[in-house]
Amino acid sequence: AIQMTQSPSSLSASVGDRVTISCRTSQGISNELGWYQQKPGKAPKLLIYAASILQSGVPSRFSGSGSGTHFTLTISSLQPEDFATYYCLQDHNFPRTFGQGTKLEIK
Amino acid sequence: EVQLVESGGGLVQPGGSLRLSCAASGFTFGSYEMNWVRQAPGKGLEWIAYISPTGQTIHHADSVKGRFSISRDNARSSLYLQMNSLRVEDTAVYYCARDNSLVQDYTNYNWFDPWGQGTLVTVSS
């Protein structure tokens, strides 16, 4: 199974900050990776697929990049509604595997 | 509106069985791959099962292989997860998620959207 290493596991930031979350995979997966946002008590929500394609309706302050084994999710200017937990998910093969999650908290 | 609604969760004793359902609406269910994903209390997301549109191709995570079984009824627009030999560590919120795909430059991309609201399964004596 492809191992996913997401970092940091938690992050404190302020409204207006630029933040970057990293996801590394144990083997190359081209750009077959997505990013999801989850708020407490809610189902995850798709933000980005194919490493860099923004899902319809997701604000443009979210962006994704990377290919191979290293991927990043960037939020250009944090808004209050962005404080949540973020997960990466590889769709290169089965079993599908998620990163451990990054909890983004208000500083 | 595209919607997925899970049901069937509850409290069950270790070694018991439970069958989860996911009712789909607002899209042609039989045209889509589907998945089950779970989340133990306070923990991260874990993918556990996949099924192709016809049900011909199925994958399960090692953690549930031989105990859980994914299936679907396209005529009823419904996805199922039969869970047998349940363990305390299977306690989690279980989500169904539609699998979307795109082929670009000979690469097949997949992503999960939408997700259901989840149903809680508690395994305890």
Q: Give residue-wise pLDDT tens across range B48-97.
A: 999 999 999 999 999 999 999 999 999 999 999 999 999 999 999 999 99
Of B45, B50, B104, the CB nearest to A98: B45
Q: Do B50 and A34 touch (CB under 8 A)?
A: no
**Tens-level pLDDT at each residue, chain A (107 residues):** 999 999 999 999 999 999 999 999 999 999 999 999 999 999 999 999 999 999 999 999 999 999 999 999 999 999 999 999 999 999 999 999 999 999 999 88
Site from B112, B117, B120 to mutate, A interface, most A CB atoms within 10 angstroms: B112
Q: What type of residue sits at position A96? A: R
Separation between Cα atoms, residue B94 and residue A40, nearest integer Å: 15
- pLDDT score for A47: 98
The pairing of beta strand A85-90 with beta strand A97-98: antiparallel
Of A1, A91, A95, the CB nearest to B110: A91
Average pLDDT, chain B: 97
Separation between Cα atoms, residue A71 and residue A16, nearest integer Å: 22
- pLDDT score for B31: 97
How many CB atoms are located within 10 Å of the residue A18 CB? 11
CA distances from B55 to A57, A62, B50, B74, B94 (A): 31, 35, 9, 9, 20
Angle (CA) A44-A45-A48 rounded to 5° is 125
Of B44, B47, B118, the CB nearest to A96: B47
User: B107 at the A interface (CB within 8 A)?
Assistant: yes
| A40 cis-preceded (ω within 30 degrees of 0) | no
Separation between Cα atoms, residue A104 and residue A11, nearest integer Å: 5
